[in-house]
Copies of this chain bind each other. A is one copy, B any other.
Amino acid sequence: MGNLLYVFELLGTLLFAISGALAVRDRDTDLFGATFTGFVTAIGGGTLRDIMLGSYPLAWVSDIRFLYAIILGVFVAYLFFKSLVRLSRTFLFFDALGISLFTILGVEKALSLGMRPEIAAIMGMFSAVMGGVIRDTLIHETPVLFRKEIYATACLGGAVLYLVLNYLGVDRDVNLIISSSLIFIVRLVAVKFKLALPNFKR
């Protein structure tokens, strides 16, 4: 389990760094601003989760590979910027993959610290979406959370599925793959078919 989780965490960090750096696509942001945005997007959710759980040291502070994953992600975004932005949905794709992995990682982390399943589900969702919320707040866009298509709801659904399968004794590596796939698919389908929850205002 540990190894797959760790690989997913590095991969999710890299993907979020790409999505953060690509997020500046409509602006005249310099190299550093894009790197900063990539960095904050990549560490934001996990950092907030660990601070709320009181779990120290933070992963990226104690393990330098996270920093390298971020730099690699920003570099990839820089090299392939035009192609990545031209392909519609590229940004979406990286973001969707990132939230899928981070949700389950967040749930696992909270469970391993002895949290109740309800709190673990929230922490999973938080670690997935808050990097993007911070990114969007920084660049003055409406947080992706408040846009039409299903987003954080998919994370919460995947988190609950993971908790249920976990309770039923499903192997953790298998569960990790099933539950994060669910999030990824729901998110892509939601965007493709413009699926949205009902409005709060009736």
Contacts and interface: CB of A to CB of B under 8 A. Distances in A.
Nearest to A133: B138
**A interface SS class:** helix
A24 interface: yes
Interface in A167-190: none
B29 A61 contact: no
Contacts of A119: 61, 64, 67
A201 B32 contact: no
A31 to B, nearest CB: 5
Contact of A201 (B25, B53, B146): B25
A124 to B, nearest CB: 13
B52 A61 contact: yes
Nearest to A24: B200
Interface in A113-169: 115-116, 118-119, 122, 133, 137-140, 142-143, 145-146, 148, 150-153, 156
